[in-house]
Chain A
């Protein structure tokens, strides 16, 4: 069957993470998962049953989670510290900053149910600040996979990274976005489709919506480039600058506050390169985020085919 980008629904990235980790851990007893009463929400119950000695439970104690993970990593263990992104990157931020990044113990921080995956549960459970806070901390890569392929590749890459990394994803099934044979490299974006009028630079679970917007705009006679910026740090500035050079405007899309995330990182890269193009950051505005499902919240804030198409049209005055 011929592969069509964005047509075939896959699994939740969360599920792919847990399967990939189990596979890695079966081959290497030094691969450990550390959880804060989050093995269920992290889909790690099968991992715990298959490899009980490789799962470390610390209870609902995220500060301890990250500190213990750093200690384990210091001895050569390949440690995946798994916790809801909202708690992992707020409650234990000082442990991430000091015990992981500053001390350079290569913990793999896994933020599950990130962004507004827990959309209906309220702001306590939203993680819409994590990219901003971690971008401001030295020595941590930030990866936000868009689909199952990117998730699996990111987890495999993380296992062998010698410095800290943060990977985050949601829990809803994702459409496959990459053709077989696509190459994944940390720090190198993937262009999913090319175009000359506008570029969508999106990250994580918003990439699909950017792709749908591009398909919608194609029917209106606009040709759109769609870039999956799976690694937000280090940023693939070259691809951003190229997009500014090749197309007439850039729309960035992220499941994150509009402050401090992908959009501002792209804007900064362009300004520093001396480039000025019509530019719009689409994300969650500076307000109390509404509640609802992830898709309802996306749609409310214009992260949808229709919303993004309208944003792009306005940017080009069309």
Chain B
């Protein structure tokens, strides 16, 4: 798949996740839009997993620790054929498996998440198991930047370095915003890169919306033998829609009819630009 085709997918993923959030009248709009390109590259270029191989012990694992951005994950998994896209129409509806955070009831999801600070510990366990079995699958987890205030992440970072888990990759969706406002105003994280390095991880920084750069960095794993891999993906919360970008009130805001229309038009414009 070419970069252009991947970019078209990203725009379509954004259009679809907005559609389903609008339909459900619920969802985490900003964070889902910010992580779309990361999920796109992972599922379409990196992960060795498919609907047919999902129960294969040797599959790569993706664990979405920032579970609230599940709408992005649903549209990507549907596109990969894990379930019919129409299933997402039941998002947040009575007795639907497509709840507001990932659960294993949905084909393609490895672990139930939603409470923050859980995905990394789980991923350490999976990666450690691979090492014990001399298996060559890899484990990827996506963390929110606001999520990093959860102390459990730092316990897990110690373990990952201790066990030299170079088959484990954590990606931080560094959009700089959380529900209350800027991460640096709520509970400062910087200097993040130095903190991760001090915890024994190899750190790479990437533009989290640059398909080519994401592909390059994710293709170079393991970055360094015996060290867990950390990618700080600089992103824009609400990426792709002008009035949603970089505004924390869109953390879980649902667009009005007019806003929805405008958002779809802006994304259509991006598609048109790719055609020209």
A residues adjacent to B (C-beta < 8 A): 53, 56, 58-59, 61, 63-64, 66-77, 94-95, 98-99, 102-105
Residues of B within 8 A of A (CB-CB), count: 31
What B residues does A63 contact at CB under 8 A? 117, 121, 151-152, 155
B125 touches which of A70, A98, A104 (Cβ 8 Å): A70
B247 on the interface (CB 8 Å rule)?
A: no
B112 touches which of A56, A67, A94, A102 (Cβ 8 Å): A102
**Once the chains bind, are B122 and A99 in contact (CB under 8 Å)?**
yes
**Once the chains bind, are A67 and B113 in contact (CB under 8 Å)?**
no
**Once the chains bind, are B104 and A103 in contact (CB under 8 Å)?**
yes
B152-164 vs A, Cβ < 8 Å mask (1 yes, 0 no): 1001101100100
B220 on the interface (CB 8 Å rule)?
A: no
**Once the chains bind, are A74 and B122 in contact (CB under 8 Å)?**
yes
Please name the residue on chain B nearest to A62 by beta carbon.
B155
B129 on the interface (CB 8 Å rule)?
A: yes
B159 touches which of A68, A73, A77 (Cβ 8 Å): A68
B43-78 vs A, Cβ < 8 Å mask (1 yes, 0 no): 000000000000001000000000000000000000
What B residues does A59 contact at CB under 8 A? 155, 158-159, 162
What B residues does A56 contact at CB under 8 A? 128
What B residues does A74 contact at CB under 8 A? 110-111, 122, 125-126, 129
State how many angstroms separate the Cβ of B137 from the closest Cβ of chain A. 9
The CA-CA distance from A95 to B241 in the complex, in Å, is: 36
**Once the chains bind, are B113 and A98 in contact (CB under 8 Å)?**
yes
**Once the chains bind, are B155 and A58 in contact (CB under 8 Å)?**
yes
B residues adjacent to A (C-beta < 8 A): 57, 103-104, 110-115, 117-118, 120-130, 132-133, 151-152, 155-156, 158-159, 162
What A residues does B128 contact at CB under 8 A? 56, 68, 71-72
What A residues does B151 contact at CB under 8 A? 63
Q: Which of B57, B117, B156 has the most CB of A within 10 A?
A: B156
The CA-CA distance from A68 to B128 in the complex, in Å, is: 9
What A residues does B132 contact at CB under 8 A? 53, 77
What B residues does A95 contact at CB under 8 A? 118, 121, 152
**Once the chains bind, are B129 and A72 in contact (CB under 8 Å)?**
yes
**Once the chains bind, are B111 and A75 in contact (CB under 8 Å)?**
no
The CA-CA distance from A70 to B128 in the complex, in Å, is: 12
State how many angstroms separate the Cβ of A285 from the closest Cβ of chain B. 33
The CA-CA distance from A59 to B125 in the complex, in Å, is: 14
Q: Which of A75, A77, A95 has the most CB of B within 10 A?
A: A75
**Once the chains bind, are A76 and B124 in contact (CB under 8 Å)?**
no
**Once the chains bind, are B57 and A75 in contact (CB under 8 Å)?**
yes
The CA-CA distance from A68 to B151 in the complex, in Å, is: 15
What B residues does A94 contact at CB under 8 A? 115, 118
The CA-CA distance from A102 to B115 in the complex, in Å, is: 12
B155 touches which of A53, A64, A75, A98 (Cβ 8 Å): A64
Known: A64-B152, A75-B129, A76-B57. A58 touches B159 (CB 8 A): yes
The CA-CA distance from A105 to B112 in the complex, in Å, is: 10
